[in-house]
Amino acid sequence: MHIVTTEDFVWFCSEYVSGPIQHWLVAGQTWQMCTHSHALGLPKLAHLSKRHSLNFYATDYSFCTMTEQTATLQDFEQDSLQWELIKDFGYRLLPQG
């Protein structure tokens, strides 16, 4: 299944899967370029989490930076989006928009 829009994602979560799935671990390629600018990028997911019962999470190993390093706490702290640090796990993307 190819999910490329927020509408597709909401449909998938609410209609396609049996039972609600509210917690999603997000992984991507290049931090900022791919993860923020894509049609189903992190800003869109942050907006979805404000309107729907959806939570999105990341770990220190979920993304690569433009320098091909793993995104770390500093990247999440300096991001344009707000993230909550979760001890011994990673980060939760806070609802926005």
Domain extents in the chain: 6-90
Please tell me the pTM assigned to this model: 0.86
The torsion region of residue 42 among left (phi > 0), alpha (psi -120 to 50) and beta comes to alpha
Q: What is the pLDDT of residue 2?
A: 84
Q: What is the pLDDT of residue 64?
A: 83
Residues 6+ apart with CB under 8 A from 79: none
Per-residue pLDDT of the chain (97 residues; tens, 9 = 90+): 788 888 999 899 888 888 778 899 888 777 666 777 778 889 999 999 999 889 999 988 888 888 888 888 998 999 999 999 999 999 999 999 8
